[in-house]
Amino acid sequence: MSSDDILAVRDLKVSFTARRAGRKYRVQAVDGVSLSLAEGEVLGIVGESGCGKTTLGRAIVGLVQPDGGNIAFKDDDAIAAGGAALRAMRLNVRMVFQDPYASLNPRRTIGDSVAEAGDINGIFRDRTDRSAMIASTLTAVGLDPSFATRYPYELSGGQRQRAGIARAILPTPSVVVADEPVSALDVSVQAQVLNLMMDLREQLRLSMLFISHDLGVIGQISSRVAVMYMGRIVERGATRTVLDHPLHPYTRALIAAIPKPDPSKRILGAIEASEPPSLFKRPAGCAYAARCPLASDRCLVDIPQLRSAGADDRALACHNV
Ligand SMILES: Nc1ncnc2c1ncn2[C@@H]1O[C@H](COP(=O)(O)OP(=O)(O)OP(=O)(O)O)[C@@H](O)[C@H]1O
Ligand SMILES: [Mg+2]
């Protein structure tokens, strides 16, 4: 962990036991991810559906138990330290969820949901202080304080995601893990909610892990990006460099698949042309080999490790680039 890092994740592994056709399988959703987040930075995590983005985010905020690796917050290996260090990390590293409807308890008022972390950690002096903090947090996300007494079903999608954001910033955290915070929203409100998040990031000096399957959004808001494929990071670097000069064949295919304004200029990339491999039968070598135009015999047996590939934290996991 370097001195200006606020969060460092090392070799994180998360697996699930899943059943399919009567048999039990181990699904390795996150397979040895290392990343660091500098203070004030937005790090984008991009990759297609099922590659483990949400699981990575949930492990970082403590909602799923990793089965390997460690998570350091401000120099403490918080999980190993447990106790006060772990509680501090839980309060300081918070999540905005992909689906604002599922993330708010339908039977609790918006005010109670927003105050949840504060209630658990006993941060409110009294009822008046609690109400005032709920009101100011709702105002900060662009909702009228009267929303405190409403229920999730009374809110529009955009308002619900604003409430979800309010819930993540009371009390003010240091790091927000934003899991596709706008992908479930109507196109007309996506930009408003993204702008709100960027304003809050500046006002509250948040560091952010921004998860998305959309490289266009990542390009707008993150300074660095990590590209995930089947539970692993396959490329990492400054966002502009990665978007302008992608190295990994998977990153190139993702970029080729970004919708172009003129459909005739659109390239049908490998991503759209083929199904992603199933986590139920993880290949022995590089997980991307079956779809990769550069794959060689070595790729079928030997998993490429992430190695340094230039200045500014550029890294790549490929045998043939
Ligand atoms: N609780 C769980 N039990 C069993 N398997 C799970 C569980 N949660 C996730 N998985 C599996 O782990 C893999 C990664 O899922 P995850 O939700 O992290 O992907 P994702 O990149 O966020 O996808 P999406 O873009 O669709 O949100 C998937 O194969 C998923 O089915
Ligand atoms: Mg997800």
Among candidates 174, 209, 189, which has minimal Cα distance to 37? 209
Question: What phi-psi label fits residue 75: left (phi over 0), alpha (psi between -120 and 50 degrees) or beta?
Answer: left
Q: Provide the residue type at 47 as one letter.
A: G
Residues in contact with 188: Cβ distance below 8 Å, sequence separation at least 6, in sequence order: none
pLDDT, tens digit (0-9, with 9 covering 90-100), for 249-288: 999 999 888 776 555 544 444 455 566 667 677 788 999 9
pLDDT at 19: 85
Mean pLDDT lowest among 51-60, 240-249, 256-265, 300-309: 256-265
Residue 280's alpha-carbon distances to 26, 227, 250, in angstroms, are 7, 21, 20
Average pLDDT across the chain, whole number:
90
pLDDT at 303: 95
Sorted by where each begins, the domain ranges of the chain are 251-321
Ligand nearest to the CA of 213: 1
pLDDT at 317 over 80: yes
Residues in contact with 147: Cβ distance below 8 Å, sequence separation at least 6, in sequence order: 110, 111, 138, 155, 159, 163
Residue 283 in contact with residue 290, Cβ under 8 Å?
Answer: yes
**Assigned token pair, 214:** 């959309």
Phi, psi (5° rounding) for residue 31? -125, 65
Helices 187-204 and 157-168, packing angle to 10 deg: 20
Q: Which residue owns the Cα nearest ligand 1 atom 11?
A: 29
Q: Quote the ligand 1 centre to 98 CA distance (angstroms).
A: 12
Q: What percent of the chain has pLDDT over 70?
A: 93
Q: What percent of the chain has pLDDT over 90?
A: 71
Lining ligand 1 with CB less than 6 A are 16, 18, 27, 29, 47, 49-55, 213, 279
| Cα-Cα end-to-end distance for the chain | 28
pLDDT at 243 over 90: yes
pTM, rounded to two decimals? 0.92
Ligand nearest to the CA of 52: 1
Q: Which residue owns the Cα nearest ligand 1 atom 7?
A: 16
Q: How sure is the predictor about 241, in pLDDT bands with cuts at 50, 70 and 90? A: very high
Q: Which residue owns the Cα nearest ligand 1 atom 1?
A: 16
Phi, psi (5° rounding) for residue 211? -90, 130
